[in-house]
Amino acid sequence: MVAYNKGLSVKSLEQSYLNLKDNVDKYLAGNIGATDLKKVCSPLGIYQQRNGLFMLRIRITGGHISVSKLQKVADIMDEYNVGFAHITSRQTLQLQDVAPADIDPILKKLAANSMPFRGGGSNTYRNILASSDSAIAVDETFDVLPYAQTLNDFLFTYDKAIELPRKLKFGFSSGADDSIKAIVQDLGFIAKQQNGKKGFIVYAGGGMGKESILGVKVFDFLPENQFIKCAKAVTDLLYDHGDRTNRSQARLRFVHKRLGKDKFIELFQEYFKNSTADVKVTDNQNIEGEAKSLQQFKFNIPDHKHYRQWAEYAVVNTKFGDDIISLRLFVPYGNLRADHIRKIAGLAKRCSLSFVRLTQSMDILFPIIHKSALPVIFESFNHELKDLDLSLHSFKGHLTSCIGPKVCMVGIADAPALSDMMAATLDKYFTEYPDKKPNEIHSILQEFKISGCPNACSGHIVSKIGLQGMKKRVNEVLTEGAFLYTGGKAVQNDACLANSDKEFLPIDQIAQVVKLGENSRV
């Protein structure tokens, strides 16, 4: 039985799962090919990998997932021998290396544990972003996660959001720093207070990929009770005006480009005027109460340099006082085995934490822990989790990159390998200058983004230093390398796309990119 309906007919949702199973069975019997199967499975967020196995994308709004669900994911991965889980730049989990015969039972078990499959791939709305420190940050405007979750509940039951000309991406930022880069979402909301009332600055029509474009501001202040009306208007607009004859030109940003800024805003306002949606936002998460009951520890503080540096760059203060902190777990390549997930969930539970957040940087955030837990967590990193560099001892695997062509069917260049080359140069530099590392880490992780193709999954289009992987014939030899992009930023009132001269940069010149980053910070 599907455990998530929110107004959608359980029968219709189960029917889509039965249809998937029927087509998987036909595929296994050799009666249909991968192309026909994709038509059925991709709208559910299920794709075939390059190795012939499959990826299942779990919808996790804002990256917010309970520890109990995380443990359930690990159990299911073990039961069906799933290769690994990948944290995506849209704050969700993808189960990788799934055998086709296991798609149906895995899907049903996840759905039965309130992790349903509808949308998330193909021409549907994608996982909704929210600031990973929402409800926690010292300087946030207000908590936006309940709004993201409410929007997901609405779109999950709205058929047009599943039958679009092309994908549609939403995001919510809880503060003026705009952590989700609203200006390059199809529809981006930035929390704002005006005259004591909650609302949003709203951008529409942005997007990254081929022919990237910055969105336009459609509201300087949208009252909070109209955000669903706004999202429905954009969904309807794309449904009606997206180019269904040319998939490569079907995204909302191409409607924006085709019409121009003024006409696009005019069309949006027309749809907004005619849009109706009556949805109440509810917040079932008592984070403040949980912050008061976190486990405290008596544990000797390790007396060595890496611990002291880690406790500086991995920790962020929260609005719950000096003793309650957030901790970032740096996940190499965003990849975790089932045993890793189970141990991380167990560690969170040991700290009395009921939930974690998956971040756009493909890491995990322990949003609230008592600072006395730091030595305990560090000890765990060095023992039961020692095969994962969760404390960023090295930059290897920690520069944001897409999953790469060894897995992804549309990937061109091996983005993780390009990332590793840059990481090796950074590691060498900080071996010589170790005291600089704590102050440089965050800017480096924000600056460098590596994508394996023009789809820009890493966000290189709005990064300070970005690589777009490609292959080119050099002296009659097909050579892997990248285009260099520089100067991008997605900041309110000062946003710009990164520039590239499209000069091919072979692999052996990748180290120059790191030196460029060093010079930019001088």
Q: What is the CATH number of the domain that holds 351?
A: 3.30.70
Predicted pLDDT at 10: 52
The structural domain count of the chain equals 4
Domain assignment present for residue 18? The answer is yes
147, 255: one domain:
yes
Domain assignment present for residue 130? The answer is no
Q: What is the DSSP letter of 489?
A: B
Contact status, residue 120 vs residue 59, Cβ threshold 8 Å: yes
240, 143: one domain:
yes
Identify residue 439 by its one-letter amino acid code: N
142, 211: one domain:
yes
Strongest mean pLDDT among 5-14, 264-273, 286-295, 486-495: 264-273
89, 215: one domain:
no
73, 185: one domain:
no
141, 268: one domain:
yes
264, 153: one domain:
yes
103, 230: one domain:
no
The 10 Å CB-count burial string (b at 16+, else e) for 97-124 is bbebebbbebbbbbbebebbbbbbbbbb
Predicted pLDDT at 514: 76
Domain assignment present for residue 1? The answer is no
262, 145: one domain:
yes
Closest CA to 280 of 227, 232, 222: 227
Domain assignment present for residue 363? The answer is yes
- d(CA 15, CA 117) in angstroms, rounded, equals 12
Give the range of the structural domain holding residue 94, as residue numbers without chain letter: 10-112
Predicted pLDDT at 4: 37
User: Domain ends where: 245, 274, 303?
Assistant: 274
Q: Report the share of the chain in percent with pLDDT over 70.
A: 97
Q: What's the rounded mean pLDDT across residues 315-339?
A: 98
- d(CA 16, CA 163) in angstroms, rounded, equals 14
Domain assignment present for residue 327? The answer is yes
Domain assignment present for residue 117? The answer is no
Q: Who contacts 310 (Cβ-Cβ below 8 Å, separation ≥6)? A: 378, 391, 392
pLDDT digits (tens, 9 = 90+) for 433-481: 999 999 999 999 999 999 999 999 999 999 999 999 999 998 899 999 9
143, 253: one domain:
yes
pLDDT digits (tens, 9 = 90+) for 345-361: 999 999 999 999 999 99
Residue whose entry in the numeric block shows the structure tokens 């192309």: 35
Q: What is the DSSP letter of 250?
A: -
Domain assignment present for residue 40? The answer is yes
pLDDT digits (tens, 9 = 90+) for 471-509: 999 889 999 999 999 999 998 889 999 999 999 999 888
Q: Report the share of the chain in percent with pLDDT over 90.
A: 89
Q: What is the CATH number of the domain that holds 218?
A: 3.30.413.10
245, 295: one domain:
no
Predicted pLDDT at 492: 85
Domain assignment present for residue 267? The answer is yes
The mean of the pLDDT values for the chain is: 94
Record the tokens describing residue 157, joined without a space: 């039951």
- d(CA 502, CA 357) in angstroms, rounded, equals 36
Record the tokens describing residue 477, joined without a space: 């030899």
More confident residue, 407 or 516: 407
Q: What is the CATH number of the domain that holds 15?
A: 3.90.480.20
Helix/strand/coil percent split, the chain, to 5: 40, 20, 40
